[in-house]
Amino acid sequence: MKFSIVITTYNRLPFLRRAIESALAQTLPCEVVVADDCSSDGTQEYVQSLGDRVVYHRNPVNSGHSVTVNTGVEVAKGDWVKLLDDDDYLAPNCIEEMTRAIAQRPGAVICSCQAIQVDVNGEEVTRTKPSGPGNVFYVPQEDIHYGMLMEVVPFGTPVQVAFKKEAFRQSGGWDSTLDGNCDDIDSWVKIAQYGDAAFVNQYLTFRTLWPGGCNQKFSLQKRLETNILIKERIYPLVNEKYRSSIPKLKEIQAFLKLHWSLVSLKQGKVGAALKMGYPALLSPIAWTSLVRVVYSKKIKRQSQYVRQEVMPYIAAST
């Protein structure tokens, strides 16, 4: 198994230096690719000064994040790819631990780990929550989309995820029409059609929270609309054995509208909250779904394992 780390960048040289350093410092050496979306801040000169330690690809014109991900993966020679945005970075043992987990599950095509969110100074802000039992656990392919639909199988942001290159190719890569807004989650949905998932309950990555982050570009209304779109794409992929137990699509849409309405209300945007939430705010089904999700997350926080009635399809490994 050979890994490539693909770092996408655009005019963030100070951040990029840190990302590259973390990739080159891996305890299990691997190929490092920098996919540059036509930066004008000295990125090209810096990366090329590193010589053959880093493979450099530069888009001929500025093409957007999704296109840059696709071209970076295509350039990579590894059979597994670890994505890394330029403002994020990796723990030294990230690739080693992921490789160990994947090796135990030959059918895996996607792997996720836990992340620490930091500010621009590298100070910890928060951490993702362990999502299953043991240090490593696996979800069979037939159960992944049900878990994603019900929000109990969270793959996370690009800094957390690695995938098999061939599965990425088969899936068609990142959808540039979603550029920066759930294009990563959409990709995980598509990749998961081709094999199992591995999850590593270790903090192997660092995600920077700052005003210039991609997640800050979109309004709550736009994030709601894309969230609904992703659920609509997941829905037909849910395995037949779950068909009789999953909510109707309109019920899921109502839950999402209620959720984002409450997020908007928490931010003091009362008008936007009412616009997004109506008529979901009046829907008993939406409120019931919200309570169910909150309860399931509470169970996970209070337990060192995930109860069988919540996630009956997870196989754990310590």
pLDDT above 80: residue 217: no
What pLDDT score was predicted for residue 130?
86
Comma-separated ranges of CATH 3.90.550.10 domains in the chain: 3-215
Segment 169-188 shows an average pLDDT of 90
Hey, which CATH number is domain 3-215, 3.90.550.10, 3.10.20.30, 3.60.40.10, 3.30.360.10? 3.90.550.10
Amino acid at 294: V
258 vs 217 pLDDT, higher one: 258
Each residue's pLDDT tens digit, 285-305: 677 776 766 655 555 544 433
Structural contact between residues 22 and 90, judged by C-beta atoms closer than 8 angstroms:
yes
Burial degree of 266 (CB within 10 A; 0-12, 13-18, 19+): exposed
pLDDT above 60: residue 114: yes
pLDDT above 60: residue 226: yes
Nearest to 171 by CA among 184, 158, 160: 184
Segment 120-148 shows an average pLDDT of 93
Cα–Cα distance measured from residue 83 to residue 133, given in angstroms and rounded to the nearest whole number: 25
Cα–Cα distance measured from residue 267 to residue 84, given in angstroms and rounded to the nearest whole number: 30
pLDDT above 60: residue 312: no
Segment 253-262 shows an average pLDDT of 82
Segment 54-70 shows an average pLDDT of 97
